[in-house]
Structure 1
Amino acid sequence: MEEQERIKFQLTGREKSELFGEGIITVFLLLLLNMSCYILLNQWVESNPGLQNGIFLIKMSLAFGPNDVKVWSWSWIAATIMLIIDTVVVYWRLMRRYRQMQLRHIIAELHYISDGHFDHRIPFQLHGQMQRVVNSVNALVDASVQAMDEERRIEKSKDELITNVSHDIRTPLTSIIGYLGLIENKRYQTQADILKYVHVAFLKSKQMKSLVDDLFEYTKVRQTDTPLNIMQIDLGNMLEQLGASFELEAQKKHMTITVHKPETPLMMDADPEKLARVYNNLITNAFKYGTGGHNIYLSAHLVDDNTIETSVANDGEEIPLTAQKRIFDRFYRAEHSRSRETGGTGLGLAITQSIVELHHGTISVTSNKRLTSFVMHFPVHYQQVKD
């Protein structure tokens, strides 16, 4: 959103007339009040001989200059005090009225924004508290617009989820119904045909279950109050076990898994089951999308006393920059990954990010022609965040 240029606040001709009229009326009323006060005060002094004598003695005792000039007069002093008070009152009344006009302009700007002009901001350059009001209003509008954009993005993501999942569930479901329909209608030749149809229906059912499981897992890990079974683990040993468990699949893909870890135990607080899910997702992704790659690298090391850095990298096909920016978005799935062989719910990396954040960690991706790396940072000691 483009930032609007700040302009100096200016009154309209009508408002200037109102302000001028306010000043004239205030001065007129003050003059009447001053005259009334002066007459009452003068009558009080003249009717009180003792007060007159006191004023005379004070006047005679005050002299200025080398010639002892006596210039003091109670009437002049009273007039001077009244003039000072009048000036303050007029200034206060005019500034109060001026701020009311500023506030009226701010309210008009707010009505303009509320009518749907959400790209508009109050452009006035004011002073003092009124400028703080303008800044607060603009900040509130920015936050509201961002919240609405986020809400629209979430709604769009949900629509995309429904569309993608409906597509991916309908495909195996159609096959299941089709093959079971052949059996139901006795459209088979031999017992082997029945077994073949049942086997295909079974595989498609497993595919549907995988989609449902991903949805269920994503829903669980997105909840901030998801319980974690925190215990102390040796991350280096976990990486070695993961590398060994995926060795057979790596051989089928003609890839090699290499583990880099420190010689000393790399201890940290984590939920081992959920953390293993993170690495499973990332390694599986490397198998699926690391086209042309021959190596997968698992590494972990201690950055400092409080932070561990770990990564899953492969030397396969580079992830486009546009995809890198959205790769952790909810339900995002790059178009080229929608094939039957690799297509899923698009929730794998979203689940991964959610699990990492549950551990108070961060995850990011970098990709170039040489290497694609998913880098994570975890605290060594897990601390429960209190509401």
Structure 2
Amino acid sequence: MRDKTNRKVNRKTTTKIRLTGAEVSELIFEGIVTFLILLALEIALILLLNQGFIINRNLDSSVSFLRDLISIHNANVQFWGWNQIFLLILVVIDVLVVYWRIMRRFHQIEMRHVISELHYIADNHFDHRITFKVNPELEKVVSSINALVDSTNRSIGEERRIEKSKDELITNVSHDIRTPLTSIIGYLGLIEDKQFKNQEELLKYTHTAFEKSKQMKVLVDDLFEFTKIQQTATTLNYMSTNMTNMLAQLAASYELEAQKQKIHILTQTRPDPLIMDADPEKLSRVFNNLIINAFKYGQDATKLLLRARQVGTEVIIQVTNNGQPIPEASLAHLFDRFYRVESSRSHETGGSGLGLAIAQSIVALHGGFIYAVSDKTRTSFVIHLPLKRGARLRPSTNVKTTDQAYLSNLN
């Protein structure tokens, strides 16, 4: 077999099997032995036929012509008439049988080479592929092996990606929890050591520790929600959902916060009412995250529009504010875990960096997709969801261009 250093070959190149000297000798030996066995059988057959003709000269006329073909007397073979044709038939049969035996042995050698390659791959050489040119039946086996190795490589790559993702998750969570936890321990330590001048300062310390505790709770809750949604066993509680009522209720629940920030919330649906299949609890989490995100980071915004419309068999929902735009470089990363456009401001507002990632995961569970667009006049989070459960939507190349036609200024 080949040396291990020569095993790595171009996956797109098909090469012939290189036989070793021992394997060539094995094929030659197989051919010689087969020929000798056939020769012995044919001589025995001729002797038996000749002896039968001598014993019984009154055979049926249907085989009488054989007496004219073969006659063996005193161990000398004599040929008359058709004997050359008979000899040629025997030679052709011999060649075919010898060729069949040699090819059969060659296929066994091919199988040994494939098994050797398979053992090499199993020895953690998953970048290697079997590229031998083999017989059609064995080619199916080789193709299956290569496909299995490719699938194994993908699984290993996915497992490594998941492990790396978990490590990054732990690192980010540890970093984000440590900051408020350090403040909590610090202020509680001051209180424990009675290092406060008066009641007012004591209340200040406890209030700061309380706010940092709430910030930690937000992070832990978001982390729990994110990991729960990422599990493959996560199911949705589908029901007929009135999107018109849902958006109206969301607007009402955030009215007080909107008044504090001098933001006017508008809702619009088409048709009215707009009914679709969805998990209302999880969709509410999506809209809550997007609205909270708009309140926190849509600086100078005066209006927030919640709009949904039915287009064919899908529902398009927009959460739009007219605040400061999101930088172009940040749009592609908004839905990454723990990504913050402005990390310092996010820490101040208690953001976990998981809200948009959670929203994206829930939308994906519904079979839809979400993206963001932002310019000087507005920032919009656009959600595409199937109208009926079970369907799956895929973003087309011109989907953003099409959606832009429906985005209007918030006057």
TM-score range, shorter chain: 0.7 to 0.9
1:376 partner amino acid:
I
SS at match of 1:302: strand
- Whole-Å Cα distance in 2 between the matches of residues 354 and 21 of structure 1? 66
- Whole-Å Cα distance in 1 between the matches of residues 58 and 241 of structure 2? 98
> After alignment, is 88-97 or 339-348 more displaced?
339-348
Q: Which runs of 5+ in 2 are unaligned?
A: 1-8, 69-79, 392-411
Query: What root-mean-square deviation, in Å, do the aligned CA atoms of Structure 1 and Structure 2 show?
Result: 3.6
- 1:270 paired with 2:270, answer no
Aligned counterpart, 1:341: 348
| TM-aligned CA deviation for residue 146 of structure 1 | 1.2
1:318 and 1:367 in contact (8 A); partners too? no
| TM-aligned CA deviation for residue 154 of structure 1 | 0.9
Aligned counterpart, 1:5: 12
2:127 partner amino acid:
D
Change (3 A) 1:86 1:307: farther
SS at match of 1:120: coil
Q: Deviations over 1:30-80 (max 9, x none)?
A: 2223323333344345444453544127999xxxxxxxxx9667x955x56
Q: Deviations over 1:201-251 (max 9, x none)?
A: 111111111122112222332334445433211213323433444455456
2:121 partner amino acid:
I
Aligned counterpart, 1:194: 202
SS at match of 2:59: helix
Q: How does 1:63-74 map to 2 (within 5 A)?
A: none
1:318 and 1:372 in contact (8 A); partners too? no
> After alignment, is 270-279 or 344-353 more displaced?
344-353
Change (3 A) 1:179 1:365: same
1:365 and 1:372 in contact (8 A); partners too? no
> After alignment, is 158-167 or 370-379 more displaced?
370-379
1:299 and 1:311 in contact (8 A); partners too? yes
| TM-aligned CA deviation for residue 147 of structure 1 | 0.9
| TM-aligned CA deviation for residue 277 of structure 1 | 0.4
- Whole-Å Cα distance in 1 between the matches of residues 33 and 388 of structure 2? 72
2:369 partner amino acid:
I
Q: Deviations over 1:77-130 (max 9, x none)?
A: 5x5665554444333322222223333333333344344443332233445233
1:318 corresponds, among 311, 324, 327, to 327
- 1:308 paired with 2:315, answer yes
Q: How does 1:1-387 map to 2 (within 5 A)?
A: 4-12=11-19, 14=21, 15-51=23-59, 53-56=61-64, 82-83=90-91, 85-126=93-134, 128-247=136-255, 249-250=257-258, 257-289=265-297, 296-304=304-312, 306-313=313-320, 316-320=325-329, 324=332, 328=335, 331=337, 333=339, 336-337=342-343, 339-341=346-348, 344-359=351-366, 361-365=367-371, 367=373, 369=375, 373-382=380-389
- Whole-Å Cα distance in 2 between the matches of residues 230 and 142 of structure 1? 37
- Whole-Å Cα distance in 2 between the matches of residues 176 and 52 of structure 1? 116
Change (3 A) 1:375 1:27: farther
1:6 and 1:125 in contact (8 A); partners too? no
Change (3 A) 1:85 1:155: same
SS at match of 1:7: coil
After TM superposition, the score normalised by the length of structure 1 is 0.79
Q: Deviations over 1:178-218 (max 9, x none)?
A: 11121211111111122111111111111111122112222
- Whole-Å Cα distance in 2 between the matches of residues 13 and 151 of structure 1? 40
SS at match of 1:229: coil
- Whole-Å Cα distance in 1 between the matches of residues 46 and 379 of structure 2? 90
| TM-aligned CA deviation for residue 171 of structure 1 | 1.5
| TM-aligned CA deviation for residue 168 of structure 1 | 1.4
- Whole-Å Cα distance in 1 between the matches of residues 301 and 385 of structure 2? 27
| Count of residues paired in the alignment | 367
Identity %: 51
1:356 partner amino acid:
V
| TM-aligned CA deviation for residue 377 of structure 1 | 3.2
| TM-aligned CA deviation for residue 313 of structure 1 | 4.8
1:363 partner amino acid:
F
SS at match of 1:8: coil
1:164 and 1:345 in contact (8 A); partners too? no
1:238 partner amino acid:
M
1:298 and 1:313 in contact (8 A); partners too? yes
